[in-house]
Amino acid sequence: MTTCIFCMIGNKDIPAKVVYEDEYILCFHDLEPQAPVHVLIISKKHIDSLDAVTETDGELLAHIMLKVKDIAAELGLEKGYRLVNNCGKDGMQTVKHLHFHLLGKRKMIWPPG
């Protein structure tokens, strides 16, 4: 049995407030939102991080990127949104599973960190 929290959510071992799901990805509300809308988009395939992606994951990454706009539209983010991937310790990646944060419904600041 895996101890990866996102794998457990993807396998429905842990409940989540799901926004979108298909055979490759799951999108659900973040438990500690940093914006009025803050969802996580995870790969159902366990990949530790963006650094661990290989050429065989190209279709999966393309699928995620193509679904972002649909998920954003469903969440009413017509004024814009931010898509974030934290990678590694200095990037503040807290869960070692490929995921993206989709944030919106407020004006984002720059620089972000």
Q: Is 110 contained in some domain?
A: no
For residue 25, the tally of other CB atoms under 10 A from its CB is 22
pLDDT-based confidence at 63, cuts 50/70/90? very high
In terms of Cβ atoms closer than 10 Å to its own Cβ (0-12, 13-18, 19+), residue 50 is middle
pTM for the complete prediction?
A: 0.94
Q: Is 46 contained in some domain?
A: yes
Active-site annotation, residues: 99
Q: Is 36 contained in some domain?
A: yes
List the beta bridge partners of residue 102: 39, 83
Q: What is the pLDDT of residue 112?
A: 79
Tens-digit pLDDT profile for residues 21-47: 999 999 999 999 999 999 999 999 999
Largest CA distance in the chain: 42
Residue 70 has φ and ψ, to the nearest 5°, of: -70, -45
Q: What is the pLDDT of residue 111?
A: 87
Q: Is 98 contained in some domain?
A: yes
Torsion angle of the four alpha carbons 20, 86, 49, 79, in this order, in degrees rounded to the nearest 10: 30
Domain that holds residue 63: 5-104
Q: Rounded to whole angstroms, how far apart are CA atoms 92 and 101?
A: 12
Count: domains in the chain: 1
CATH number at residue 22: 3.30.428.10
Q: Is 112 contained in some domain?
A: no
**Percentage of the chain modeled with pLDDT above 70:** 97
